[in-house]
């Protein structure tokens, strides 16, 4: 007998774009449907990667899918994005990425030249990240059903330490660090879609993060939690973390790095840059005693030169995430309720 649908049909009779937007509806879908059906100890933490023991060691395992439109955008393409996104999910567990799978869902009529460009981009990104694409799959769907190509990946990495990086480890007083300026990936794609032109071109921040994380861990920085800032942006990530950690996160708006051209693009489109996805940025929670050392290490590498402190964790209050504005007033930084930017990853 098939059990009744756990999400009331009168509320959501069909899937919405917002169910994939990194906000409230996606979290509801995951918890009430997928987690309810597949619940097990490895899935329960709902982290970017599952971490388990194998032959006396720890491995991280993750999977992701990429449906970005357009396939090619300033600063990257669907191929490099697929590698970076999967490597970064492993990095958020503190793992060293080793192997990836790549499954291609191709649309009939896609130009072979474009597909080859995507494949070469994946190859080059994997080589740069020092990972191997070791298995895969290919399917073809009818013309008009696939937007050229969709890519699904899975990744396996190894943990070379005994730490657990999770929201439950965050303590009041921990400092929040971001690894660089926010919002460029989403705005790079939307600028192309909407034909927006600025004095300087906005390029995606798509990049691998694992080397920075491994350097921090190798230097003995006590990282309590990591999260890459993909769907839902900083706002979505902090709300998920605060809920899981049962703490309140206090963010200083003036400290959050957003480029002027990204601000301008967001204003034109009526978007909040703190909710716009990145593909090469993370937020880290570390004890206050380690914050300056962590920043110094991040500033020493090309990927972390824009890293900065943006706030602290505090004891649980009435609201999970609070933002202190430039004039000193506090407001609730609520989880995104819908999908601001569909099909950007």
Say yes or no: 148 and 238 in one domain: no
Range of the domain at 228: 167-332
Reply yes or no on whether the pLDDT at 10 is more than 60.
no
Say yes or no: 126 and 194 in one domain: no
Contact 191, 126 (CB under 8 A): no
- What's the pLDDT tens digit per position in 289-331? 999 999 999 999 888 999 999 999 999 888 899 999 988 899 9
The reply to whether 3 falls in a domain is no
The pair phi, psi for residue 166, each rounded to 5°, is: -155, 155
Contact 163, 223 (CB under 8 A): yes
Say yes or no: 130 and 196 in one domain: no
- What's the pLDDT tens digit per position in 20-78? 877 788 888 888 899 899 999 999 988 889 999 988 899 999 999 999 999 999 999 99
Q: What is the CATH number of the domain that holds 53?
A: 3.30.1330.10
Reply yes or no on whether the pLDDT at 4 is more than 70.
no
The pair phi, psi for residue 39, each rounded to 5°, is: -50, 130
Say yes or no: 110 and 178 in one domain: no
pLDDT for residue 6: 66
The reply to whether 66 falls in a domain is yes
Reply yes or no on whether the pLDDT at 2 is more than 70.
no
pLDDT for residue 8: 59
Say yes or no: 176 and 323 in one domain: yes
Say yes or no: 242 and 313 in one domain: yes
Helices (H), the chain: 24-29, 36-38, 78-91, 112-129, 184-194, 210-218, 233-245, 260-269, 288-299
Q: What is the CATH number of the domain that holds 198?
A: 3.90.650.10
Look at residues 159, 183, 203 and tell me which one is the last residue of a structural domain: 159
pLDDT for residue 28: 86
The structural domain count of the chain equals 2
Q: Report percent pLDDT > 70 for the chain.
A: 96
Look at residues 115, 137, 159 and tell me which one is the last residue of a structural domain: 159
- What's the pLDDT tens digit per position in 16-30? 888 887 778 888 888
- Residues 6 or more apart whose CB falls under 8 angstroms from that of 140 comprise 105, 106, 107, 108
- What's the pLDDT tens digit per position in 106-134? 999 999 999 999 999 999 999 999 999 99
Say yes or no: 209 and 136 in one domain: no
Reply yes or no on whether the pLDDT at 149 is more than 70.
yes
- What's the pLDDT tens digit per position in 182-229? 999 999 998 888 787 777 789 999 999 999 999 999 999 999 999 999
The reply to whether 137 falls in a domain is yes
Look at residues 127, 159, 191 and tell me which one is the last residue of a structural domain: 159
Distance of CA 150 to the CA centre of its chain: 18
- What's the pLDDT tens digit per position in 71-101? 999 999 999 999 999 999 999 999 999 999 9
pLDDT for residue 198: 74
Ranges 24-38, 143-157, 159-173: which has the least confidence: 24-38
Say yes or no: 281 and 312 in one domain: yes
Reading the block at residue 223, the tokens are 């990282």
């Amino acid at each position: 007998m098939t059990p009744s649908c756990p999400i009331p049909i009168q509320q959501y009779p069909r899937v919405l774009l917002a169910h994939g937007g990194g906000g409230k509806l996606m979290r509801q879908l995951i918890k009430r449907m997928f987690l309810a059906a597949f619940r097990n100890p490895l899935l329960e933490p709902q982290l970017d990667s599952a971490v388990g023991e194998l032959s006396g060691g720890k491995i991280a395992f993750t999977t992701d899918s990429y449906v970005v439109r357009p396939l090619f955008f300033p600063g990257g393409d669907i191929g490099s994005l697929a590698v970076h996104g999967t490597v970064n999910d492993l990095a958020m567990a503190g793992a060293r990425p080793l192997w990836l799978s790549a499954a291609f869902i191709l649309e009939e009529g896609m130009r072979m030249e474009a597909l080859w460009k995507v494949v070469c981009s994946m190859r080059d990104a994997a080589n740069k990240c020092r990972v191997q694409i070791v298995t895969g799959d290919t399917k073809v769907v009818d013309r008009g059903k696939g937007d050229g190509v969709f890519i699904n990946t899975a990744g396996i990495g190894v943990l070379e330490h005994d730490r657990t990086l999770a929201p439950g480890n965050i303590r009041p007083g921990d400092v929040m660090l971001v690894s660089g300026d926010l919002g460029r990936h989403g705005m790079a794609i939307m600028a192309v879609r909407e034909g927006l032109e600025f004095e300087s071109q906005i390029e995606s921040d798509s990049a691998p993060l694992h080397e920075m994380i491994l350097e921090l861990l190798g230097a003995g920085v006590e990282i309590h939690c990591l999260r890459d800032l993909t769907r839902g942006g900083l706002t979505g990530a902090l709300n998920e973390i605060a809920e899981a950690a049962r703490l309140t996160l206090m963010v200083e708006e003036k400290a959050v790095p957003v480029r002027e051209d990204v601000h301008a693009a967001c204003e034109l489109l009526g978007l909040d840059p703190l909710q716009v996805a990145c593909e090469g940025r993370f937020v880290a929670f570390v004890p206050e005693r380690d914050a300056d050392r962590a920043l110094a290490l991040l500033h020493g590498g090309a990927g972390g030169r824009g890293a900065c402190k943006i706030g602290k964790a505090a004891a649980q209050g009435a609201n999970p995430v609070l933002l202190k504005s430039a004039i000193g007033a506090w407001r609730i930084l609520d989880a995104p309720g819908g999908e601001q930017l569909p099909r950007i990853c």
